[in-house]
Structure 1
Amino acid sequence: MSRRDQIRMTPDELTAYLDEQKVVNVATIGPNGRPHLAPLWYYPHESGIATWTYGSSQKAKNLERDPRATVLIEDGEGYDKLRGISFEADVEVVTDTAAVTRMGIELMQRYAGAPPETRIPAEGASDQPGDPVPDELAGFIGKQAPKRIGLIFRPTKITSWDHTKLGGTY
């Protein structure tokens, strides 16, 4: 078995890694043809991730023109601890304010530390299971959502690595 095969994450490891990490670096193609790279908070969604951003941002303009991106999530201080996922993705741009509001709530609940089973699902109606959204959070998200768009990243090619599987040798 090649070293590359040894460090590849399994589907369950990929899911766990996406759940564990907090920041994604998203590369889009700018109007001059060069990559535009930006960090974002995200939440796991389907087999990829989702987030929101200001509709007037450069990444939003880039994705409206060309809805493809490359995503990087990585961690590890030393070579033997490097772990990460890089994927090419088709990106769905969500402009419906109600859907963007749900996405914002899902995102903020994740970063506030709400366990996944208590979050209101972003893709569902308000009658789905989940803890009630505090009025203060709902008010904040409600004011932000009209200025934002949702982004759903659906992977088309995934590369992963986990050097901890090598036991300190390479």
Structure 2
Amino acid sequence: MSRRDQIKLTPQEIADFLAEEKVANVATIGRTGRPHLVPVWYLPDGSTLSTWTYESSQKVANLRRLAQATVLVEAGTSYEELRGVSLECDVEIVEDTERITAIGSALTERYTGSPEVAAAASQFVRAQAAKRVGLVFHPTKVVSWDHSKLGGTY
């Protein structure tokens, strides 16, 4: 078995990793052809991720031109700890206010860790949804790694 095959995550390990981590780096292509890279908070659903962002953001302008992105979620500080998932995605831009509000509410709950806080923030989230779009990242290719599976050997 190749080293690459040894460090690959299973679909369940990918889902667990994405549920555990909190920040995804999203790369879109700008009008000059250069990558535009930004961190986002996200909602995991298996290997599909969702977020919301301001409609006027550069990433949305880029996605309106080319609805594709590469998303990286990674963790670890030393080589033997490195874990990550890279997702090449087709991106759905959500413009329905109810869906955007649902994404915003779920993000609020995930990142505060409190359904009560999310409920208390519902009016704020609804007001924000009017200025935002949802982004749903549908993977077309997934690459993953977990160097700890090598047991310290390289």
TM-score (norm 2): 0.96
| Alpha-carbon displacement from aligned partner over 1:92-142 (angstroms, at most 9, x marks no partner) | 00011111001100111111114xxxx7xxxxxxxxxxx8952x3101101
Identity in percent: 56
2:152 partner SS: coil
Which position in structure 1 is the counterpart of 2:151? 167
* Equivalence map 1:83-98=2 (5 Å): 83-98=83-98
Per the alignment, in what secondary structure is the counterpart of residue 153 of structure 2?
coil
Q: Aligned in 2, Cα 1:133/1:21: closer, same or farther, shift over 3 Å?
A: closer
Find the counterpart in structure 2 of residue 38 from structure 1. 38
Q: How does 1:13-162 map to 2 (within 5 A)?
A: 13-45=13-45, 47-114=47-114, 133-134=118-119, 136-162=120-146
Q: Cα distance, 1:45 vs. partner?
A: 2.6
Find the aligned partners of 2:28 and 2:117 in 1 and give their Cα distance. 35
Where does the alignment leave 5 or more consecutive residues of structure 2 unmatched? none
Task: Confirm or deny: 8 A CA contact 2:109 2:117 kept in the other structure.
Answer: no
Give the 3-state SS of the residue equivalent to 1:104 in structure 2: helix
Q: How many residues align?
A: 154
Q: Give the TM-score taking structure 1 as reference length.
A: 0.87
The alignment's C-alpha RMSD in Å is 1.4
